[in-house]
């Protein structure tokens, strides 16, 4: 391919372009998926053919503004400036090109949504995270993060009578049990190889609590990369399963009576080479203070779906109370004891799952933590018991998406950080999901979440 990138207004550095084009040719890539995450938490995109790639790397692919007003049921919401008129461009980040092992012939690139003149679009979620990272940098900090996702592995069973498809779990192995390693073995090895090939460093794997549940964690990375990694992770978990005629769901609670799937968010704050959460630093306390102060509102973003709130129950290690504590698995914020020599002290935010838009999640978490640092917020006493054993003493997390959205609307810091267009679209999309699922039964909710996430 000899095409040179055309002189569009959105230019990518030539060096990257050449490398991407060479790799695409060498690896027989026919389709390059330009991917983004929307307000419903859904990962969407459009793909360029290899022959058009040189130009599309520069121009992006045209897209309607309306797609950021679409909810997770593909129902378009009325949002000002997101009607039928108006275009954005899905513009790939040249550093993210990666062939997809589970989709031979395809590669992915994580993308921004930009205005046709190349400037960032106010509703781009990836830009929201970049701006949060920049705000943190202004105060002299960088954030490393990792999502620690769980998912349910099985197969999707259509209902012959026309009812909802069901997720039939792979096995009934016990938590961390040897049997579970063997029942899921072929899938786990394929998944690990696929993730490693994409540059995600796998940390640990185990079969977890309840039928078909798996947990596989990846190494932390700078915030933007961590969110990009989580998009690739979600796509790969499901893509590998589909190639094996299986179905994997990262939905927060795909089986109503079983353990939920979290995507706990691990966080550490750095200045140069120093982990600032390394000791009982005042800074760590303030960051926790910020997380707790904004937690009810944060959950509207980090636990972004109706199904998320089925998961946040006591005695499930998912957290149900706005408290923190060292190695407390029932606390919303756990101070994790470091593991081994390369282990880094970090905080773990438990009310976080894979139905969230990871860019909005991490961005909102950064704004909350930064607010805690700037205002020196006191997190109060650490909790070293199960908070559910002290009735009435601790604040419960929101019980529903609507309740969380009320908290978000009342949270000036997060509303201001989101900005007018993004927040009006996010609220419209999420309110519409709350209403749509409230009008139907639980089976409808479980089906749609396991289908989409």
Residue ranges in contact with ligand GLU by CB under 6 A = 150, 259-260, 262, 311, 316-318, 329, 350
Q: Which residue is nearest to Mg ion (CB)?
A: 215
Shortest distance (Å) from residue 215 CB to Mg ion: 4
Say how far apart CA 293 and CA 368 lie, in whole Å: 8
CB of 233 to Mg ion, least distance (A): 15
Q: Do 85 and 58 touch, CB atoms closer than 8 A?
A: no
Other CB atoms closer than 10 Å to residue 154's CB: what's the count?
A: 22
Place of tokens 């999901």: 433
* Residue nearest ligand GLU by beta-carbon distance: 262
Q: For residue 353, state whether it binds Mg ion (rule: CB under 5 A).
A: no
Compare residues 215 and 228 and give the one whose CB is closer to Mg ion. 215
Which residue, chain included where needed, has tokens 């003149």? 117
Smallest gap from residue 212 Cβ to ligand GLU (A): 13
Q: Which of 130, 124, 146 is nearest to 38 (CA)?
A: 124
31, β-bridge pairs = 49, 106
User: Which of 283, 292, 315 lies closest to 386 in space, CA to CA?
Assistant: 315
Neighbours of 392 (CB within 10 A): 5
CA distances from 280 to 37, 142, 284, 356 (A): 36, 19, 7, 30
Residue number, 215 or 330, with CB nearest to Mg ion? 215
433 binds, among Mg ion, ligand GLU, none (CB under 5 to 8 A by kind): none
CB of 132: closest distance to ligand GLU in angstroms? 24
Residues with Cβ within 8 Å of residue 329, at least 6 apart in sequence: 317, 350
Say which entry of Mg ion, ligand GLU, none residue 16 contacts (CB below 5 to 8 A, set by partner kind). Answer: none
Between 96 and 354, whose beta carbon lies closer to ligand GLU?
354
For ligand GLU, which is the closer residue by CB, 101 or 296? 296
Question: Mask 190-229, x = binds Mg ion (CB under 5 A)?
Answer: -------------------------x--------------
Task: Closer to ligand GLU by CB, 150 or 402: give it.
Answer: 150
Reference 324, options 336, 315, 316, 334; nearest CA is: 334
Beta carbon nearer to ligand GLU, 113 or 191: 191
Least distance between ligand GLU and beta carbon 259 (Å): 5
Cα separation, 260 vs 353, in Å, equals 9
Rounded CA-CA distance 14/28 in Å is 21
Close Cβ partners of 196 (under 8 Å, ≥ 6 residues apart)? 202
DSSP string, 203-239: EEEEE-SSTTEEEEEE--EEHHHHHHHHHHHHHHHHH
Residue 390: CB minimum distance to ligand GLU, A: 21
User: Please, what is the minimum distance in Å from the beta carbon of residue 310 to ligand GLU?
Assistant: 10
Taking CB within 5 to 8 Å according to partner kind, which of ligand GLU, Mg ion, none is near residue 318?
A: ligand GLU
Q: Which does 101 bind (CB under 5 to 8 A by kind): ligand GLU, Mg ion, none?
A: none
Closer CB to ligand GLU, 44 or 329, in the complex = 329
Binding stretches for Mg ion (CB under 5 A): 215
């Amino acid at each position: 391919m000899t095409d040179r990138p055309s002189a569009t207004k959105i230019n990518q550095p030539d060096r990257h372009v050449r490398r991407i084009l060479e790799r695409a040719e060498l690896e027989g890539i026919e389709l390059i998926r330009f991917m983004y995450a929307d307000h419903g938490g859904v990962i969407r995109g459009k793909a360029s053919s290899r022959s058009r790639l040189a130009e599309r790397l520069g121009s992006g692919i045209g897209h309607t503004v309306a797609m950021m007003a679409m909810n997770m049921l593909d129902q378009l919401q009325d949002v000002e400036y997101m009607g039928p008129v108006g275009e954005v461009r899905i513009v790939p980040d040249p550093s993210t090109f990666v062939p997809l092992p589970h989709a031979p012939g395809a590669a992915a690139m994580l993308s921004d949504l930009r205005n046709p003149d190349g400037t960032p679009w106010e509703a781009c979620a990836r830009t929201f995270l970049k701006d949060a990272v920049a705000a943190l940098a202004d105060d002299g900090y960088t954030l490393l993060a990792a999502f620690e996702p769980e998912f349910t592995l099985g197969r999707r069973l259509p209902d012959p009578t026309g009812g909802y498809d069901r997720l039939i779990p792979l096995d009934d192995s016990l938590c961390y049990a040897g049997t579970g390693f063997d029942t899921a073995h072929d899938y786990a090895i394929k998944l690990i190889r696929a993730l490693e090939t994409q540059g995600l460093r796998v940390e640990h794997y185990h079969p977890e609590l309840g039928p078909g549940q798996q947990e596989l964690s990846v190494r932390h990375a700078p915030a933007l990369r961590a969110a990009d990694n989580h998009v690739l992770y979600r796509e790969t978990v499901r893509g590998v399963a589909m190639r094996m005629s299986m179905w994997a769901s990262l939905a927060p609670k795909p089986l109503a009576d079983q353990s939920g799937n979290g995507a706990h968010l691990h966080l550490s704050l750095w200045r140069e080479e120093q982990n600032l959460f390394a000791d009982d630093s005042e800074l760590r306390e303030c960051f926790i203070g910020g997380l707790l102060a904004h937690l009810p509102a944060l959950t509207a973003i980090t636990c972004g779906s109706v199904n998320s709130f089925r998961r946040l129950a006591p005695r499930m290690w998912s957290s149900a109370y706005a408290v923190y504590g060292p190695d407390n698995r029932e606390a919303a914020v756990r101070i994790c004891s470091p593991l081994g020599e390369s282990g880094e002290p970090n905080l773990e935010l438990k009310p976080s799952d894979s139905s969230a838009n990871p860019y909005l999640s991490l961005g909102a978490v950064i704004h909350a933590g930064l607010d805690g640092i700037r205002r020196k917020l006191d997190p109060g006493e650490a909790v070293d018991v199960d908070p559910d054993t002290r009735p009435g003493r601790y604040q419960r997390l929101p019980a529903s998406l609507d309740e969380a959205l009320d908290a978000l609307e009342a949270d000036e810091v997060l509303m201001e950080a989101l900005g007018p267009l993004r927040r009006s679209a996010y609220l419209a999309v999420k309110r519409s999901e709350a209403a749509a699922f409230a009008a139907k039964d639980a089976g409808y909710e479980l089906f749609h979440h396991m289908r989409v996430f």
